[in-house]
Chains A and B, each alone.
Chain A
Amino acid sequence: MTALLRTEGIRKAYGGVHALDSCTVEVDEGSVAGLIGPNGSGKTTLFNVITGYAKADAGQVYLGDRKITNVAPDRVFASGIGRTFQLTRIFASLTVLENMLVASPNGRAAARRRAMEQLEFVGIAGHHAELAGTLSYGQRKLLELAYVLVADPAIILLDEPAGGVNLSLVNTIADRIRELNATGKTFLIVEHNMEFVMGLCDRVTVLDSGAVVAAGPPAIIRTDRRVLNAYLGEDLPDDDPHPGERREKQP
């Protein structure tokens, strides 16, 4: 597979705090990639750098062969990268359908048709005429996913899609991601819900203190000692044969 999205040696500091330090991440075309790490490890900062919301101090971002480092968010979106946010950011005073049309590049009739299709896909088409501000948190998550889909981006970056929503909705979101991925859509997902990430992703990259500490298939990542040390913040005994299993039994 070829890397659709690639960051090379990204550095980003806020004052004296190094949010990202030589961060190199690759997302293969047609894959579902996961990005995990403890709080403050730089996951959202990396998303912000990729999507133009924050400027990289050093390093490069590529979409395919095209360099998109420090390009403005509207141009990043136009180039084919859609994203959602950790805390949902919808247009509260617009209706659900109007929210969808903000991102739509098509003409009026085609845009409405496609918007309704996407709303039906995520299951909130019945709310299309309501103000988005009246939606529940979970529905806002679905709306955010839907309006990113409207412009048919090549890759979708999801920042904690399962955060703060009930199990039923987590399953719904996972299903939609899986269905979209089956049609060839590429995803990069930041998530703290390990079950969600491990069950969905083809490859997982682990960040700690702004640097990549491990990357690989979920089966390897979930038992990687460096990952467990970094992610769970504990030093595990060297003679533990199955550290991943041990940790997963913890509540």
Chain B
Amino acid sequence: MSGQRAASGAALIILVVAAAGFPVIFSSPVVTNYAVYALIFVAVVSAWNVFSGFSGYISLGHAVFFGSGAYTVGIAAKDWHITGTGVFALLPLAAVVGALIAVPFGLIALRVRRHTFIVITIAVFFIFQLMAYNLNSFTGGTIGMSAPFLPWSPTTFNDRFYYIAVACAAGAVVMSVLVRRSRFGLQLRAIRDDEDRARGLGVRTMRVKMTAFMLSAAVAGLVGGVWFLYLTQVLPNSGYDPLFDLSLVLMAFLGGLGTISGPVIGALIIEPGQLYLTIKYTNGYLSEILLGALFLLIVLFVPRGLVPTTGEWIRRARTRGRPVVPPASQRAAVPQPGNGAPTTEART
């Protein structure tokens, strides 16, 4: 166990050093641009996973929080005349707005389950997108909103955002780990397995789901604000992008829904790949076609995701096909003498 901890610690140090040194080694703005987008999606998909991955409620409406975070920063900066690096002080506000939107959203959507929940999240998403298009005086309508000018040199602009995105991604992953290890996380996973049973064991399921939804929305809102400042503008169809949530789902399914590292790996594979295809081939539909094809392949061949499937392969290779632990059904179902269980005969 101590050896395992030492290995984990060493891996973490290597990861931190690699993350810190990345822009130094790969100084090209093209490469750091890929990294910033990948890390933004690492943060958002990790937040999405805290709710959807742990609870089993697949949300296709997280773009609502992401886009609203972006618009919050834009609108607040414009109305309160905040310029320069002071706009970063608005990021907590973006998180609060995301969490607040999650309250009425959750009160409606979390009363239903499975496909009905998914349909409601899609409906809410389109309501927000239409509002962004039509509330011209508030959102700028089809013109959208521009971010305040940041007084940073173009040569260091990407590097600075890289470190901000690293902080967001690290924060979201740490939050995922803490939630998963907590009693709250256990209750979320129990809800995923059997919500009614969890309720019958004293879990206040609505409260637990709502808390996770708000937590997830807050991070998505905050990261939406960062994305807006990096991209320097938000439009209704980019802030509230219908493909945004599909990308999140694909990332999580590719890596492993409900795991910590799975969605991270999924984001690090899919987002740069998608970006590369969009930049390389001016036909924007190619990446979407490939995204759909990839989704089919994942569902058909690695339905549990890369991380759980790879873990299973490694275990099989180590044990040469024998299970690590014999199936429980092959062992005695009743207490064995010496394990502390009484062995008295039943009266029946």
Q: Which A residues are closer than 8 A to B by beta carbons?
A: 51-53, 72-74, 76-78, 82-83, 85, 89-94, 98, 101-103, 105, 108, 120-127, 130, 134-136, 138-139, 142, 147-148, 151, 165-166, 168-175, 178-179, 195-196, 199-200
- For A196, the chain B residues whose CB sits under 8 A away are 348
Contact (Cβ within 8 A) A138 B333 = yes
Residues of chain B within 8 A (CB-CB) of A85 are 197
* B337 vs chain A, min Cβ distance (A): 10
Contacts A53-B196, A120-B340, A170-B348: A151 and B202 contacting too (C-beta < 8 A)? yes
Return chain B residues, CB-CB under 8 Å to A77: 200-202
Q: How many residues of B contact A (CB 8 A)?
A: 35
- Known contacts A77-B200, A139-B333, A200-B347; is A120 also within 8 Å of B189 by CB? no
Q: For B329, give the chain A residue with the smallest CB separation.
A: A136
> Quick one: CB contact mask for B315-341 with A, threshold 8 Å, 1 for yes?
000000000010111000111100111
State the CA gap A175–B205 with chains docked (Å).
Answer: 34
Bound CA–CA A124/B335 (angstroms) = 7
Q: Which 9 pairs show the lowest CB-CB distances between chains A and B?
A: A123-B335, A171-B346, A123-B341, A103-B201, A199-B348, A174-B346, A91-B193, A136-B329, A138-B333
Q: Is B160 an interface residue, CB under 8 A from the partner?
A: no
* CB contact list, B96-146 vs A, under 8 A: none
Which residues on A sit within 8 Å (CB–CB) of B340?
Answer: 120, 125
Min CB gap B174→A, angstroms: 19
Expressed in whole angstroms, the Cα–Cα distance for A178 and B197 within the complex equals 25
Interface residues of B, dominant DSSP: loop
Which residue, B199, B201, B341, B345, has most C-beta atoms of chain A within 10 A?
B201
**Complex CA distance for A78 and B203, rounded to whole angstroms:** 9
Contact B202 A127 (CB under 8 A): no
- Residues of chain B whose beta carbon lies under 8 Å from any beta carbon of chain A: 183, 186-187, 189-190, 192-194, 196-205, 325, 327-329, 333-336, 339-342, 344-348
Q: How long is the Cα–Cα vector from A121 to B339 in the complex, in angstroms?
A: 9
Q: Are A130 and B197 in contact, with the CB atoms below 8 A? A: no
**How close is A200's CB to chain B, nearest CB, in angstroms?**
7
Task: Determine if A136 and B200 form an interchain contact, defined as CB atoms under 8 angstroms apart.
Answer: no
Interchain CB contact under 8 A, A171 and B348: yes
| Cβ contact within 8 Å between B335 and A105 | no
B193 CB contact (under 8 Å) in A94, A169, A172 = A94
How far is B344's CA from A120's CA once the two chains are assembled, in angstroms?
15
In the assembly, what is the distance between CA of A94 and CA of B188, in Å?
11
B346 cross-chain contacts in A, Cβ below 8 A:
170-175, 178, 199
CA distance A96 to B100 in the complex (A): 36
Contacts of A169 in B (CB 8 A): 333-334
Chain B residues near A123 (CB, 8 Å)? Answer: 334-336, 339, 341
Q: State A196–B348 Cα separation when bound (angstroms).
A: 6
Interchain CB contact (< 8 A) of A74 among B183, B199, B342: B199
**Chain B residues near A165 (CB, 8 Å)?**
333
**A103, B202: Cβ atoms under 8 Å?**
yes
Contacts of A72 in B (CB 8 A): 199
Residues of B within 8 A of A89 (CB): 194, 196-197
